[in-house]
Chains A and B, each alone.
Chain A
Amino acid sequence: MRRRDFLRNTTLASGALMIPAFLKPFEAFAASDISGYKNLVIIQLSGGNDGLNTIIPFGNDIYYQKRKTIAINQPDIIKLDDMQGLNPNLSALKEIYDQGWMSIINSVGYPNPDRSHFRSMDIWQTASDSNQFLSTGWIGRYLDSNCQNCTNPYTAIEVDDTLSYAMKGAKLKGIAVQDPNKLYQTTREPFFKDLIHEHDHVNLNEDNLGYLYKTMIETYSSADYIQQTTKTYNVGCDYPQTGLGGQLKMASKFINSGLQTRVYYVSLSGFDTHVGQQNQQGRQLKIYGDAVAAFIKDLKQTGKLDDTLVMTFSEFGRRVEQNASNGTDHGTANNVMIFGGKLKKAGIYNSAPDLSQLDNGDLKYQIDFRDVYATLLDKWLNVNNSLILNRNFAGLDFV
């Protein structure tokens, strides 16, 4: 039996007799099977990262007028063109940018923006309109779309201890794996193991109890597959000793060991800089830039950069004008950063944000975030975006 047929037949609905086979460790893929296997890595910056102090529109005087005490001084900015430049804490990304592995999309947002953290994050994670409530995430719906390679939980891995809303579909969900060893050990505790191996077949009905057993079995076999596939691979490059550095290092281990995973999800908190922004944001951006640069260089060395696309977003940007506490308040449109070895349009994708035509003191969005998602879905994950985004988005040309 060909492997694909085997996988297709081994669904729980097809009969309990197949279960013992399903529990066997999946054999590691031969290297030839996985070349050209494309990965998407999503980095979420939580709290609303101030995009204007990340990719700085230094060429626009309004920036300096509105940000008397928190603007980044011209000489410190790492200039990308005569309008925009990188925050000095992102210096590690300069080399990546110069290699043509980075693309910056300005003014990404959505109509009728919501300035509440949780609501705007919800909108980004579920890819809804701002007056619509969806109970599934956009990556979850990608899993539900039943694409050829996304029937297993490990099709989408969040390197964390819990699963974000973005990763939950109606039928299928991704899996949270902070550490494959830990997950493996947890599922191999004797009592769990017995329940999995010796449960009555009647437990695999379509009802809620069947769903619990099915999830347990999938977790058990996924834990095994992830552990077996990744245990011998050691990441060869140095990563910074930070939370995000560790997460991306783990993602590198997963990608390079040939895990059949399409989407990785990681996040970094601490961007809600209402007070004393410069130091706090600077610290977070340094963590971000150093970790991403290490990751991209690592993937380049292992030959995986061409098969990997990284997208960074935050739930919103911040107001153009600073507040009285040397910080910034919740805003709207923001920049999205894309990294990869095969970008169609590297560098600055579209014009810098317009600081003069504001909506109530906030940036007007130029690009709907779902056009960014649509591009990733259509051109990278090979699934029609309208199946996931509920209507068709034209998409962009960065890849």
Chain B
Amino acid sequence: MNNAKNIKHLYARAGFGIRFEDLHDHEHRSVKKAVRKLFKASEKQEPITVLTENLDLRHPLTDADKAKFNEDKYKQAVDLNNAWLKQLSETDAQLREKMTLFWHNHFACICGTVYYAQQINNIQRANAFGNFKTLLLQVSQTPGMLLFLTNQQNQKAHPNENFARELMELFTLGRGHYTEQDVKESARAFTGWTYAGKNGEYAFYPRGHDDGIKTFMGQSANFCGEDIIDIIVAKKQTAIFICSKLYRFFVNDVPDMDHVNQMADVLYNANYEIKPLLEYVFTADWFYDDKNTGNLIKSPIDLLVGLNRQFYVSYQNPAILIQFQRSLGQELFHPPNVAGWPGGKSWIDSSSLMYRMKIPSTILNAGVIDFTGKANPEDEAYLAFEKKQQLNVIKKVQAQPDWDKFLKEMPSDITRQQMAEFMLEPPINSTTLNEVQNAPDIKTAVIQITSTPEYQLC
């Protein structure tokens, strides 16, 4: 077993890619020790606190107040995106952030009030590899999710099935494992789950709650929402569903059901604790099989964060990173719908692939770009208010990679080929190798490595 290769694979999947400095640390240690180190580094809790005002509590009346409101809302969205991307790029707790990204997509949510997006993000981070049931309940009771899945409108007199349906279809069981009757009955159990308008906090309104008998998955009682979640989580299918998503996220686009079932046993027997499951995956032999290495397409966030981390990049105007996210098809906090980003091959089309191959050189070489991506639908009110047709466009990337640090940590006797092998997960083809070996200087060689199709994989 090639230990260095395995450690590199572990970092590519459990984190955002290995740096030369990491290799000094782990090269001669076991995979087990490296996994332990990743968890240790992720023990610390770093909530994002950039937003301090809940704009939901502001009720602008005059046109001037509304203009200020729209502007502040827009600014909050930029600030939150920048803050998370910075954290992703700089933290030592990379496994925690990677799992936060997983939950960000699993509980895909668009919050009109950006403050609530920050709140959900922090819950996902705090429970990143904690208990799934705790996470599920906490996320479900945030104002952001209650609003998003219209549970505010779920009242005894006129139930709204939106939350109940997505809970089962997307968060726990998956399609085909519940009936329409289960949706109807459980929606009644979630009536009265709401949040208070005056402080923006979760509240249960007994008067809106239906306390009649509900028949859900073969059991009848006066169930409340928490009971429904208990019943759902008690189904092994929930563990299987979560594990097949985690398998696609960490291991392979095509789930191997034997491995998924092994994972589901671990998760289920651990009472839905995520940490033992991840330890199991990262130390499983099959995780390091050739067919499971260098074959996942990096998400746009993986790509950008990986570059930032590898080259210690700082940005004069970090909003450029939002433009990159839009151009590449993954803007944090703006999944396409409640099902999240489909991932895999869907990241790649003609233009996104060209940008992916061009962006590294613009970041590493103070480049200029001529693409902006599309405004997200939530920006439309701001655009209309500002009488603009499109958002301001940044053309100069203005990034500062720390080349000195990057080069200093590279082993002094490293060959160009070894360097390429270190930075790329899939095997290198002869053309790339040839280009890298003939590049006039080491920086050019490095930029070429990051501009290949191979660099898109992890």
Scoring B residues 51 to 85 as 1 if CB is less than 8 Å from chain A, else 0, what string do you get?
Answer: 00000000000010011000000000000000000
Contact between B457 and A272, CB atoms less than 8 A apart: no
Find chain B residues with CB under 8 A from A119 CB: 337
Task: Tell me, yes or no, whether A384 is within 8 Å of chain B by CB.
Answer: no
Interface centre among B110, B165, B374 (most CB of A within 10 A): B374
Inter-chain CA distance A143–B371, complex, in Å, is: 25
- With A118-B376, A202-B429, A219-B353 known as contacts, the answer to whether A161 contacts B327 (CB < 8 A) is yes
Whole-angstrom CA separation of A273 from B384 in the bound complex: 6
| Interface-side segment among B236-244, B306-314, B385-393 | B385-393
**Would you call B448 and A191 a contact (CB within 8 A)?**
yes
Take A118-B377, A208-B297 as given contacts and tell me if A280 and B384 are in contact as well, using a CB distance cutoff of 8 Å: yes
CB distance from A250 to the nearest CB of B (A): 15
In this assembly, does A148 line the interface, its C-beta being within 8 Å of a C-beta of chain B? no
Whether B339 contacts A135 by the Cβ 8 Å rule is yes
- Encoded as 1 (CB less than 8 Å from any B CB) or 0, chain A from 53 to 78 comes to 00000000000000000000000000
**Chain B residues whose CB sits within 8 angstroms of the CB of A209 once the complex forms:** 294-295, 426, 453-454, 457
Does B329 sit at the interface, judged by CB under 8 A?
yes
Q: Are B295 and A269 in contact (CB under 8 A)?
A: no
Query: Which one of B123-131, B215-223, B342-350 is at the A interface?
Result: B342-350
Q: Any chain A CB within 8 A of the CB of B383?
A: yes
Q: Chain A 109-153 against B: per-residue CB contact (8 Å), 1 yes, 0 no? A: 000000011110110000000010101000000000000000001
Complex contact B295–A208 (CB within 8 A)? yes
Cβ-defined contact, A161 with B380, below 8 A: no
Contact across chains for B380 and A182 when beta carbons are under 8 A apart: no
* Interchain CA distance A339-B381 in the complex, whole Å: 28
Q: A1 vs B448: C-alpha distance in the bound complex, in angstroms? A: 39
Check if A399 is an interface residue, CB within 8 A of chain B: no
> Which residue of B has the minimal Cβ distance to A112?
B162
Is A252 engaged at the interface, CB distance under 8 Å to the other chain? no
Q: Which residues of A contact B380 (CB under 8 A)?
A: 46-48, 117, 269-272
Decide: A199 and B429 in contact? CB cutoff 8 A: yes
Is A283 among interface residues, defined by CB-CB distance under 8 A? yes
Q: Indicate if the CB atoms of A212 and B348 lie closer than 8 Å.
A: yes
Contact flags A264-306 to B (C-beta < 8 A → 1, else 0)? 0001111111111001100110010000000000000000000
Taking CB atoms and an 8 Å cut-off, the chain A residues in 299-333 that contact chain B are: 315, 325
Question: Contact between B370 and A182 (Cβ–Cβ < 8 Å)?
Answer: yes
Enumerate chain A residues within 8 angstroms of B390, measured Cβ to Cβ: 243, 269
Q: Tell me which of A163-171, A368-376, A385-393 binds B.
A: A163-171
Bound together, the chains give a CA A121 to CA B388 distance in angstroms of: 20
Number of B interface residues in the complex (CB < 8 A): 65
Residue B412 is within 8 A (CB to CB) of chain A in the complex: no
Could you tell me the distance in whole angstroms from the C-beta of B332 to the nearest C-beta in chain A? 14
B residues within 8 A CB of A315?
377
Q: How far is the CA of A279 from the CA of B383 in the complex (A)?
A: 14
How far, in whole Å, are A175 and B354 apart by their CA atoms in the complex? 11
CB contacts (< 8 Å) of B271 on chain A: these are none
Interface residues contributed by chain A, number (CB under 8 Å): 70
B456 sits at the interface (CB 8 A): yes
Complex: chain B residue closest to A162, CB-CB: B373
Which chain B positions have C-beta within 8 A of A198? 430-431, 434
Query: Does B409 touch A at the CB level, under 8 Å?
Result: no
Q: Is B317 an interface residue (CB 8 A)?
A: no
B451 at the interface (CB under 8 A from A): yes
* Minimal beta-carbon separation of A314 from chain B (angstroms): 11
Complex CA gap A315/B160 in Å reads 23
Residues of B contacting A160 with CB < 8 Å? 374
CB contacts under 8 Å to B, within A181-233, are 182-183, 186-187, 191-192, 194-195, 198-200, 202-203, 207-209, 211-213, 215-216, 218-219, 222
Does B104 sit at the interface, judged by CB under 8 A? no
Q: In the complex, A174→B349 CA distance in Å?
A: 8
Closest B residue, CB atoms, query A274: B381
Chain B residues contacting A267 (CB-CB under 8 Å) are 374
A49 to B259, CA, bound (A): 50
Residue pair B349, A275 in contact (C-beta under 8 Å): no
Minimal beta-carbon separation of A212 from chain B (angstroms): 4
Q: Are A270 and B388 in contact (CB under 8 A)?
A: yes
Residues on the A chain within 8 Å of B338, using CB: 133
Q: A153-B350, A186-B354, A270-B380 are in contact. Are A213 and B336 (CB under 8 A)?
A: no
Give CA–CA (A163, B448) in the complex, Å. Answer: 26
Point out which of A175, A200, A222, A283 has the most chain B C-beta atoms below 10 A from its C-beta.
A200
Question: Any chain B CB within 8 A of the CB of A79?
Answer: no
The one of B334, B348, B350 that contacts A176, using a Cβ cutoff of 8 Å = B350
CB-based contact B350/A219 at 8 Å: yes
* A122 in contact with B350 given A271-B384, A274-B384 (CB within 8 Å): no
Q: Within 8 Å of chain A (Cβ to Cβ): is B375?
A: yes
B357 within 8 A of A: yes
CB distance from B339 to the nearest CB of A (A): 4
B337 CB to closest chain A CB, in angstroms? 5
By a CB distance below 8 angstroms, the chain A residues around B451 are 191-192
A117, B337: Cβ atoms under 8 Å? no
Distance in Å: Cβ of B359 to nearest Cβ of chain A: 12
Q: Tell whether, in the assembled complex, residue B353 and residue A215 are in contact, meaning their CB atoms are under 8 Å apart.
A: yes
Closest to B430 in A: A200
The residues of A that contact B162 with a CB separation of less than 8 Å are 131
Query: Are B349 and A187 in contact, with the CB atoms below 8 A?
Result: no
User: Is B214 an interface position by the 8 A CB rule?
Assistant: no
Which listed residue, A178, A215, A325, touches B350 by the CB 8 Å rule?
A: A215
**Pick the contact of A195 from B337, B346, B431 — CB < 8 Å?**
B431
Whether A175 lies near B384 (C-beta < 8 A) is no
- B377: which A residues are within 8 A, CB to CB? 46-47, 116-118, 121, 315
Residues of B contacting A271 in the complex (Cβ-Cβ under 8 angstroms): 380, 384
Those of B420-458 within 8 Å (CB) of chain A: 426, 429-432, 434-435, 448, 451-454, 456-457
Residues from chain B with Cβ under 8 Å of A183 in the complex: 354
Please tell me if B296 contacts chain A, counting CB pairs below 8 Å. yes
User: In the complex, what's the smallest C-beta–C-beta distance from B349 to chain A, in angstroms?
Assistant: 4
Is residue B226 contacting chain A, with contact meaning CB distance below 8 A? no
Q: How far is the CA of A122 from the CA of B357 in the complex (A)?
A: 28
A173 contacts chain B at the CB level, 8 A cutoff: yes
Nearest chain A CB to B218's CB is how many angstroms away?
24
The closest CB in chain B to the CB of A114 belongs to B150
B273 at the interface (CB under 8 A from A): no
| A208, B296: Cβ atoms closer than 8 Å | yes
A216 touches B353 (CB 8 A): yes
- Indicate if the CB atoms of B336 and A122 lie closer than 8 Å: yes
- Is B378 engaged at the interface, CB distance under 8 Å to the other chain? yes
Contact mask A329-345 → B, CB, 8 Å, 1/0? 00000000000000000
Q: Is B374 within 8 A of A164, CB to CB?
A: yes
- Complex A-B: 27 CB contacts under 8 Å: A47-B381, A47-B383, A133-B339, A153-B350, A162-B351, A162-B374, A163-B329, A175-B349, A175-B350, A176-B349, A195-B435, A198-B434, A199-B429, A209-B426, A209-B454, A212-B297, A219-B354, A243-B389, A268-B389, A270-B388, A271-B380, A274-B66, A274-B384, A275-B67, A276-B63, A280-B387, A283-B387
Given A48-B380, A118-B376, A269-B383, 15 additional A-B pairs, CB 8 A: A47-B377, A47-B384, A117-B377, A131-B165, A133-B170, A161-B372, A161-B373, A162-B327, A198-B434, A203-B429, A209-B426, A212-B353, A272-B384, A273-B384, A325-B63
Which 4 residue pairs spanning A and B have beta carbons closest together? A117-B377, A47-B380, A272-B380, A212-B453
